[in-house]
Amino acid sequence: MGTPIINQPQVAIMAVGAIKKRPVVIETPHGDSIAIRHMMYISMSYDHRIIDGSLGATFVTAVAKELENFQPRHCKNALACSCFKLQLHFFT
């Protein structure tokens, strides 16, 4: 995991790590268990004079949720599919 560096005049930059299998705790109504899941780190650096920390965190959370729920099986063309396009309305 690393910290992406902003190159001016950029306002923010996001970095993603490699997808690796890691042990995680799964919470269920029947109790907790340890399972192996695919995990990936997402990090974002931004100019705090322009982007509030809450807004940056909201954007990273939205990206993570989109990636977690992405299902390529029903997409014939993943790049043109509406489920692949992220809603970037946070910065407009």
The active-site residue, picked from 38, 48, 74, 89, is 48
Residues 6+ away with beta carbon under 8 Å from 42: 14, 15, 16, 17, 60, 63, 64
pLDDT at 21: 93
pLDDT above 50: residue 92: no
DSSP letter assigned to residue 51:
S
Q: What is the pLDDT of residue 2?
A: 72
pLDDT of 78? 52
Which pLDDT value is given to residue 79?
A: 53
Please report which helix (H) or strand (E) contains residue 37, including its range: strand 31-39
52 is catalytic: yes
pTM equals 0.65
Q: What are phi and psi of 50, to 5 degrees?
A: -110, -40
> Which residues, in sequence order, are CB contacts of 25 under 8 Å at separation 6+?
32, 33, 34
Q: What is the mean pLDDT of the chain?
A: 80
What are the pLDDT digits (tens) for 70-90? 776 665 655 555 554 444 444
**What distance lies between CA 84 and its chain's CA centroid?**
13
